[in-house]
Amino acid sequence: MMLSLGAGESNMTLRHFDFNPTGKFIVSLAGAALLLAGCTASPEVQQTAQTGTVATQAAPPVVPRQSVNALMVTMIDNAGHVLWDVEKPGFAPKNDADWLEIENHATQLEAASTLIQLGGTGPEDSAWAGQSAWKADAKAMGDAAMAALAAAKSKNLQALVMANGALVGTCESCHKAFKPTLPTEGLLHQSPHSESHETNR
Ligand code: HEC
């Protein structure tokens, strides 16, 4: 193994691993890394090979700092209503800025579908996020958001309305499974969502 390395390199590597009980194995790995790295290796790669830290250290896990409920209210419900509102008389997107607003909110919705799969700070959040049915419902919401995003990018109102229909189905399906006894705030929002939202338009 070490024959294929330059004398300087192998000495350096061996010296470093003199006291390591599994030295032989790690030296081989380090040697292989040096060999693969060749002349174009970045300083970090060479450093890694020389110190023997072949595997990079795992980053700490992502810890959510919001509850699922907070994401529901601030991101998901909010973004959902911006999308659904296009179906109200007089609210169909009229210009580039209107379509961009749909794009932005579809993007938020899709991102939130990923976030709620990480759990959250609510008492039930980790238990929910640990279930495959939760992940499937969250992903279905993200899929509908992606369809809405594509519709907005191509300024296709009909496709957006289709995506909106799929979207509301995903909210209902998950709420039925995971929050049957909690109040629903009225998912379809026959009445205006909030004053600030209305005056935003
Ligand atoms: C993956 C499952 C899931 C999906 C998908 C989902 N929700 Fe939720 N939602 C929940 C759960 C569970 C709660 C209750 C959280 C709690 O009480 O801690 C909740 C709470 C809410 C709340 C706040 C409580 C209430 O009922 O007023 C709103 C608003 C809400 N969701 C709207 C939506 C909308 C709109 C959609 C679709 C665009 C949606 N949700 C999609 C699971 C989901």
Residues in the chain: 201
Q: Is 80 exceeded by the pLDDT of residue 108?
A: yes
- Buried (b) or exposed (e) across 108-126, using 16+ Cβ within 10 A? bbbebbebbbbbbebeebe
User: Does the structure show a pLDDT above 50 at 165?
Assistant: yes
Residue 26 near residue 53, CB atoms below 8 Å: no
Is the model's pLDDT at 37 over the cut of 50?
Answer: no
81 lines ligand 1 (CB under 6 A): no
Answer yes or no: are the C-beta atoms of 175 and 146 closer than 8 Å.
no
Pocket test for ligand 1, best of 175, 182, 189, 190 (most atoms within 8 A of CB): 175
Whole-angstrom distance, CA of residue 198 vs CA of residue 60: 41
**Number of Cα atoms under 13 Å in the Cβ half of residue 47:** 4
Distance 175 CA to ligand 1 centre (A): 6
pTM of the model: 0.72
pLDDT value of position 53 = 58
Average pLDDT of the residues in 146-166: 98
The domain spans of the chain are 2-51, 68-200
- Topology of domain 68-200, per CATH? Four Helix Bundle (Hemerythrin (Met), subunit A) (1.20.120)
Q: Is 24 helix (H, G, I), strand (E, B) or coil?
A: helix
Q: What's the pLDDT tens digit per position in 45-84?
A: 445 455 555 667 899 989 999 999 999 999 999 999 999 9
Average pLDDT over the chain reads 77
